[in-house]
Structure 1
Amino acid sequence: MDAGATIDAVRDQTETERDRLGSDKVLIAATDATLETGAVLTAAATRESGLADILDRWAAEADSDVAAQFEAAAEAATERADRIDADAGDSDGFLDNLETVSGTARRVGAGLVAAPLVADRFYLQVVSFFVNEADEQRADTFREIRREASALDDGKTVLEYLSESERGTAATAATDAIGAAYDDYAETLEAMGLDPKPIC
């Protein structure tokens, strides 16, 4: 599998989880059912600040080529957090999972493939929230943040540095990280008495 096929495999294996992570319940879970502007901004800032910190640490521990991509991704996440302009809250299940990931290939999969795929679904609902609030300025800001946060360029670049077996390891780690994000989402909703599965 080349880099593109690796990412496609992760998409295919996590389609159900990602679909549910893009539902309108994701902000209920992320904000403890406090669907207010401040809580939504805090949830977004938590994700970007937490991701930036983790990627920055990984950059310090990685070989030069991979370190440069981790560092670039960390700087981008920091810049997005600055634009959100809110205090970060407690870490969520996805970030907690990233904290446990070791090994370059696994970190590439979790931090540079899974994180953008999860961000795409999360920010879809953040944009919708601000559209519904008639806050077009913030909706536009988060459209741009979504576009940037969901970009897979860094992941594709680094996957090309890896061997085929390492790309397989990265794909497994990405799938596991998305699974952790979904499990946290589902458990949070179930604790509120809500069903994480869509109503058909």
Structure 2
Amino acid sequence: MTADGFLDTLCDDNETALSRLGSSKSLYALTGGEMDADAVLAAAADDANAAAETYGAWADDGDVALFAEAAAAERDHYDDVTAEIGDHDATATPAVYVYLDGLDDPVARLGGLVGASLAGKQRATQTSGFFTGEADPSTASLFREYGSTLEARRDAAVDALADLADDDGDWDRAADAASGAVQAAYDDYVEKLEAMGVNPKPVC
């Protein structure tokens, strides 16, 4: 498998989940129905904190430079987000990071990083749009830039896989981990909406 084929197949296989994670219902699920700026920022802060801890632990456990870079970027993003809301006690661990914590080798972790970046990009775009609607261009720009960071991280992880993967078995293991990360985020989205009595599927 090639790097391009890996990413194309991953996006095709998870098209529905990624599309719904990029919908307005995604923020509704993340905030428990509290669609106000503070709730959206608090959810984003929880996400960045959990990401920084997960990727930091991976960096401490191996020699993949990208994990340390991702951890540092997430710490910076957490600082940027919490600067918007003041003190924040990050206690929630989003489901995608619970899933990622179970990955224990570099190939699977790089795959998981790709999947988490794809899911995170969808939500970052939706969050940027939310703050555009709130007439807050500065915060909208913060999340737009974060989305670009996630895109670059996704591509860097695929490149790292191209160097690390020895055979199709490694690519398959990375693909399973990537899809697992997307599905963990999507399953959490579905469960939260259904618990609020909201249909997770788009209404045509």
TM-score normalised to structure 1 length: 0.93
Gaps of 5+ in 1: none
Q: Which letter does structure 1 place at the counterpart of 2:15? A: E
* Greater alpha carbon shift after TM alignment, 140-149 vs 169-178: 140-149
1:114, distance to aligned residue in structure 2 (A): 0.7
- Give the drift of 1:34: 0.9
Match of 2:94 in 1: 92
Q: Show the counterpart of 1:124.
A: 125
**Inter-partner Cα distance in structure 2 for 1:141 and 1:190:** 30
Q: After alignment, is 95-104 or 36-45 more displaced?
A: 95-104
* Contact 2:112/2:177, CA 8 A, preserved across alignment: yes
Task: Count residues in correspondence.
Answer: 196
Q: C-alpha separation between the residues in 2 aligned to 1:167 and 1:60?
A: 24
Shift of 1:35: 1.0
Q: Which residue does 2:175 correspond to in 1?
A: 171
Provide the aligned C-alpha RMSD in A: 1.3
Q: Hey, what does 1:110 align to over in structure 2?
A: 112
Q: Which whole-Å CA distance do the structure 2 matches of 1:193 and 1:181 have between them?
A: 19
1:140 is matched with: 141
> Match for residue 41 of structure 1?
41
The more displaced of 185-194 and 33-42 is: 33-42
TM superposition shift of 1:21: 0.6
> Which among 61, 69, 80 is matched to residue 72 of structure 1?
69
> Given the alignment, which residue of 136, 143, 160 partners 1:158?
160
Structure 2 contact 50–94 (Cα < 8 Å) conserved: no
Identical aligned residues as a percent? 36
**One-letter code aligned to 2:25:** K
TM superposition score normalised by structure 2? 0.91
Q: Distance in 2 between matches of 1:150 and 1:39?
A: 25
What's the offset of the Cα at 1:149? 2.1
Q: Aligned equivalents of 2:66 and 2:142: distance in 1?
A: 24
List per-residue Cα deviations over 1:64-107 (Å, max 9, x = no partner). 3xx21111111111111111125234112112211222222111
AA in 1 matched with 2:184: A
Verify the 8 A CA contact 1:42 1:89 in the aligned structure 2.
no
Match of 1:15 in 2: 15
Contact 2:119 2:182 in 1 (8 A): yes
Match of 2:79 in 1: 82
Asked whether the 8 Å contact 1:105–1:169 carries over to 2, the reply is yes
- 1:54 aligned partner: 54
Query: In the TM superposition, what is the alpha-carbon distance from 1:150 to its structure 2 partner?
Result: 2.9
Q: Whole-Å Cα distance in 2 between the matches of residues 168 and 184 of structure 1?
A: 24
